[in-house]
Amino acid sequence: ATGVLPTESRVHHLTPRPHRGMCRLHARGRQIVLINPCRHGKVAVLRLCVDCSCAAREQLATTGMFHIMDPSHYQVDETLRDGRPVVVRAIHGKDQQEILAAYHELDSHSIYLRFFAARGEPTAAELHDWTEVDFASLVRLILCLAEPNGERIIGGASYALLVPANPAAGAEISFLIEEDFQGQGLATMLLQHLVCIARSAGITHFVAETLIENRSMVSVFAGSGLPMKRWLEDGVVRIRLDLTA
């Protein structure tokens, strides 16, 4: 099983999986997936909650692996193409005002492409649902840019299990990037982080729906390097990405 071991557990050895940018911890027959920061930037908030054996510690140092991933505290430093630093992190309830400010920055077309319909001001209930997530059946990441007046949210991505408590049934993904930052590979960046979290949770595949006119989103999926199936149904492009390959 994949998950987080209690603090009294002991790690015996690691199995590097460089083609996925991960390795696995082995402890008493259970496994933990770790992220390789060499592939996904500096992993800043990954929780160490196991007592590693000496051999495992040496492997951690040799492979550059950090700590066990806790999706609810996920935070990774990244860089925009223009050199500005950004942070990919888990969303939290305290982010409601920043999420509302980010929504106000979107134009109507971006909102239409994301929600498949025109929308007005988010309700208090919607803001709550967007920011209060359990990081089990629903994982939501936001992309934040530091500004003089504080943190600015410039994008986000999420996945939701198709069947509660059944990661093998897959998860649906969605993305939204502010117009001023589109075309910089940010959706691809967020997808990579979602893939890492999903694989560690045992999710076998992603599904997505996008409008035919949203060619840029289809290109993100096609360029992900993941095995992809695509078909048209009821005027909507449906996507399936395999995470097990």
pLDDT of residue 19: 42
Query: DSSP labels for 36-76?
Result: -HHHHS-B---B--SEE-HHHHHHHHHHT--PBP-GGG-EE
pLDDT of residue 245: 78
**Both tokens assigned to 206:** 């992603």
Do residues 80 and 137 make contact, with C-beta atoms less than 8 angstroms apart? no
C-alpha separations of 49 from 4, 76, 135 in Å: 8, 19, 18
pLDDT of residue 243: 94
In angstroms, the CA 187 to CA 182 distance is 8
Check pLDDT > 50 for residue 133.
Answer: yes
pLDDT of residue 219: 92
pTM for the model? 0.72
In the predicted model, what is the mean pLDDT of the chain?
76
Check pLDDT > 60 for residue 34.
Answer: no
